[in-house]
Amino acid sequence: MSKIALLSNVNIDSLKMKLRRNNEIYLPQGYGGWMQEILNETSGLYKFKPEVVVCIPYGNDLMASWESEEDGKDAIDQIFFAFNKLLENLPKANVFIGTLDISKKEIRPICSKRREVFFENYWYESIFELDSERCVPLDIKEIISEYGRDVVYSNKLWYAGSMPFSPKGNSFIAKEINNIIFALEGNRKKCIALDLDNTLWGGVIGEDGLEGIGLSEYKEGARYKDAQKRLKELKDIGVLLCVVSKNNEDDAMDGINKHPSMVLRKDDFVALNINWKTKAENIQDIAQELNIGTDSFVFLDDNPAEREQMKDVLPEVSVVDFPKDVMDLEKTVIDMYKKYFYLYKSTKEDLEKTKMYQAEGERKKIQKKAVTLSDYLKLLEIEIDIHRLEDLEFERVHQLTHKTNQFNLTTIRYSKEELENIKDDENYRIYTVHTRDKYGDNGLVCVVIVHITDDKSAEVETFLMSCRVMGRDIEKVVLSKIMDSLKNDGIKEIKGEYIKTLKNAPVEDFYDKMEFECEYKDENTKKYKKDLSSSLKTEEVYKKIEFRG
Partner 1 sequence: MKEFLEFIASVLEVDSSLLNEDSKVGSIEEWDSVAHLTLVVEIEDEYDVEIPSDEIGEYDSVKKLYALIKEK
Minimum CB distance to partner 1, residue 170 (Å): 8
Query: Candidates 156-164, 300-308, 389-397, 441-449 — which segment interacts with partner 1 by CB under 8 A?
Result: 156-164
> What secondary structure does DSSP assign to 345-382, as a single string?
S--HHHHTHHHHHHHHHHHHHHHHH-SSHHHHHHHHT-
Should residue 13 be labelled a site residue for partner 1 when binding is judged by CB under 8 A? Answer: yes
Q: Residue 470: phi, psi to the nearest 5?
A: -65, 155
Q: Residue 9: phi, psi to the nearest 5?
A: -85, -5
Q: How long a stretch of residues is the chain? A: 549
What torsion do the CA atoms of 250, 255, 257, 262 make, to the nearest 10 degrees? -160
| Interface residue with partner 1, options 2, 8, 14, 432 (CB under 8 A) | 14
Q: Are 407 and 467 in contact (CB under 8 A)?
A: yes
Query: Candidates 115-123, 129-137, 167-175, 352-360 — which segment interacts with partner 1 by CB under 8 A?
Result: 167-175
Should residue 157 be labelled a site residue for partner 1 when binding is judged by CB under 8 A? Answer: yes
Binding mask 126-155 for partner 1 (x = CB under 8 A): ----------------------------x-
By three-state DSSP, how is residue 337 classified?
A: helix
- Complex with partner 1: residue 31 or 81, whichever CB lies closer: 31
- Complex with partner 1: residue 151 or 545, whichever CB lies closer: 151
- Complex with partner 1: residue 167 or 209, whichever CB lies closer: 167
Minimum CB distance to partner 1, residue 22 (Å): 10
Angle at 111 between CA 106 and CA 112, to 5 degrees: 50
- Between CA 94 and CA 181 the distance in angstroms is 9
| Interface residue with partner 1, options 159, 365, 502, 537 (CB under 8 A) | 159
Minimum CB distance to partner 1, residue 295 (Å): 28
Q: Are 92 and 41 in contact (CB under 8 A)?
A: no
**b/e string for 132-150 if b means 16 or more Cβ within 10 A?**
eebbbbbbbbebbeeeeee
Minimum CB distance to partner 1, residue 234 (Å): 33
> What secondary structure does DSSP assign to 171-228, as a single string?
HHHHHHHHHHHHHHTT----EEEE--BTTTBBS-HHHHHHHHSB--SSTHHHHHHHHH
Query: Candidates 18-26, 198-206, 230-238, 418-426 — which segment interacts with partner 1 by CB under 8 A?
Result: 18-26
| Interface residue with partner 1, options 21, 47, 113, 324 (CB under 8 A) | 21
| Interface residue with partner 1, options 163, 272, 377, 422 (CB under 8 A) | 163
Binding mask 208-247 for partner 1 (x = CB under 8 A): ----------------------------------------
Should residue 168 be labelled a site residue for partner 1 when binding is judged by CB under 8 A? Answer: yes
- Complex with partner 1: residue 95 or 174, whichever CB lies closer: 174
| Number of chain residues interacting with partner 1 (CB under 8 A) | 18
Should residue 11 be labelled a site residue for partner 1 when binding is judged by CB under 8 A? Answer: yes
| Interface residue with partner 1, options 44, 91, 148, 167 (CB under 8 A) | 167
Q: Beta strand pairing status for 297-300 and 191-194?
A: parallel
- Complex with partner 1: residue 31 or 520, whichever CB lies closer: 31
Minimum CB distance to partner 1, residue 483 (Å): 54
Name the residue among 348, 365, 279 with its Cα closest to residue 314: 279
Q: From residue 153, give the alpha-carbon distance in Å to each of 11, 57, 119, 433.
A: 13, 13, 19, 51
Name the residue among 537, 525, 393 with its Cα closest to residue 479: 537
By three-state DSSP, how is residue 233 classified?
A: helix
> What secondary structure does DSSP assign to 508-537, as a single string?
TTHHHHTTPEEEEE-SSEEEEEEETTSPPP
- Between CA 80 and CA 78 the distance in angstroms is 5
Interface residues for partner 1 in 504-523 (CB under 8 A)?
Answer: none
Should residue 31 be labelled a site residue for partner 1 when binding is judged by CB under 8 A? Answer: no
Query: Candidates 14-22, 128-136, 246-254, 373-381 — which segment interacts with partner 1 by CB under 8 A?
Result: 14-22
Q: From residue 190, give the alpha-carbon distance in Å to each of 174, 285, 295, 319, 445.
A: 24, 15, 9, 14, 16
- Complex with partner 1: residue 17 or 117, whichever CB lies closer: 17
| Interface residue with partner 1, options 20, 92, 364, 521 (CB under 8 A) | 20
- What residues make contact with partner 1 under the rule CB under 8 A? 11, 13-14, 17-18, 20-21, 154, 156-157, 159-161, 163, 166-168, 170
